[in-house]
Structure 1
């Protein structure tokens, strides 16, 4: 991949896939802006990648729109993001639709969709002016079909991320700003692995039987497609959803 240094803003940087992605971007030479609400984890990750590249941290909850606006307004000049990865969100609560209500859906949208729009609308103007940008949003296999690990509200929210991605990709294509989504299947992040181990062995076997490769994905495997979409080589790839799910959805 082309190694032209860029500035990358990683939202939800402090854990799971995004933490490993931040390390990979740092090794590639990109300058990093790491945003997360977990101050301790953010500080630890920043100390690690600071040995490889320039790094700034934004300790903010992106669902707090006003605070996010204030923090992102500090990014100017060389710190204006040319790469944006929206990795915040998730929900490991397994619940049937009969146990859900409107508040549950509203909460899921607030955690999984609204932050994507917030980050895009605040970062894209600078990308348009520069004539270059890479935006990668995290949907999920659930947003493409259904989920063994969550609930209908989460699936609806992640499906909304796909729709948002496609519309924004269409609008920004003339400005050389690509917008794509990655729909990860079950990836053995710390959060997913913990929820996985709590499930009865028979349920785990049933889930694995539906995944052709017969296992959960690794964090390293999850990062690869995201890293490509952040690269210059992805300039002709926009409005797409890359499925990384071991064959769960074919």
Structure 2
């Protein structure tokens, strides 16, 4: 299937590692020029080189998407290298192994709430502001946010601010879908379950999360997700064929979430 992405310009914020890297690789395979970002220079450079070594076009940018300056730096780098972005995929930074803030409402500080809002909500705000005007001019655009199944099934077993506050992004993306749909711009969320990425391996080693046995029991397909499966779904959401699919939160979790909608 030709996804119609040849010569499109894609920004994958948080696209250097794990599922983000798989998204960057898949979009490049489909012919898009990819600007991928991260905060670890060696990993960012290695992913960009990986894509270029297979004939793709890629630029790695080391920047912090959770700040206005970082977001502007990312989009300006894309404009200079390839032109105004047609596609924005935002894969915001979550907690690292060892981060244990926000467990229990009364244990959440103001700083916990504000930091989480910057990570999951404001990063999308800052980047989207930079790309929407050019997308409107072109009459074509794709916005994809990588989030969590906690959007569908909030729960108390994980830290409140790290999991349940992500739901705010669902309202924002639904509004973007309605406001800019007439300009050929779609906005969707991928709500992820457990994926076997480098970060997941770090978590397992930290023994600070659910273990292998838990997921083997709770995920109906009896395995973790593969990053390439994330890349394939996001590439489709960015395609010409997905032009009528917008305002949705799509679970990619092996059936882990038990809610109907």
Q: Same fold (TM over 0.5)?
A: yes
Rate the CA distance shift 1:149–1:69 in 2: closer, same or farther, 3 A: farther
CA shift, 1:89, in A, is 2.1
CA shift, 1:149, in A, is 7.7
Q: How does 1:74-89 map to 2 (within 5 A)?
A: 74-76=77-79, 78-89=82-93
**Larger mean Cα displacement after TM superposition, 231-240 or 153-162:** 153-162
**Larger mean Cα displacement after TM superposition, 119-128 or 53-62:** 53-62
1: CA distance, partners of 2:155 / 2:206: 17
- Does the aligned pair in 2 maintain the 1:113–1:157 contact within 8 Å? no
Question: Structure 2 residue aligned with 1:241, among 242, 246, 249?
Answer: 249
Q: How does 1:2-17 map to 2 (within 5 A)?
A: 2-5=3-6, 6-17=8-19
- Does the aligned pair in 1 maintain the 2:203–2:209 contact within 8 Å? no
**Larger mean Cα displacement after TM superposition, 110-119 or 178-187:** 110-119
Q: Secondary structure at the match of 1:85?
A: strand
CA shift, 1:147, in A, is 5.7
Does residue 59 of the first structure (1) align with residue 62 of the second (2)? Answer: yes
- Does the aligned pair in 1 maintain the 2:61–2:77 contact within 8 Å? no
- Does the aligned pair in 1 maintain the 2:188–2:249 contact within 8 Å? yes
Alignment-derived partner of residue 123 in structure 1: 131
1: CA distance, partners of 2:169 / 2:210: 32
CA shift, 1:4, in A, is 4.0
TM-score normalized with structure 2 length = 0.87
2: CA distance, partners of 1:21 / 1:203: 26
Aligned length: 250
Alignment-derived partner of residue 101 in structure 1: 109
Cα root mean square deviation, aligned = 2.3
Rate the CA distance shift 1:128–1:46 in 2: closer, same or farther, 3 A: same
Rate the CA distance shift 1:81–1:190 in 2: closer, same or farther, 3 A: same
Alignment-derived partner of residue 112 in structure 1: 120
Rate the CA distance shift 1:149–1:47 in 2: closer, same or farther, 3 A: farther
Alignment-derived partner of residue 91 in structure 1: 95
**Unpaired runs of 5+ in structure 1?**
none
**Unpaired runs of 5+ in structure 2?**
none
TM-score normalized with structure 1 length = 0.90
Rate the CA distance shift 1:189–1:38 in 2: closer, same or farther, 3 A: same
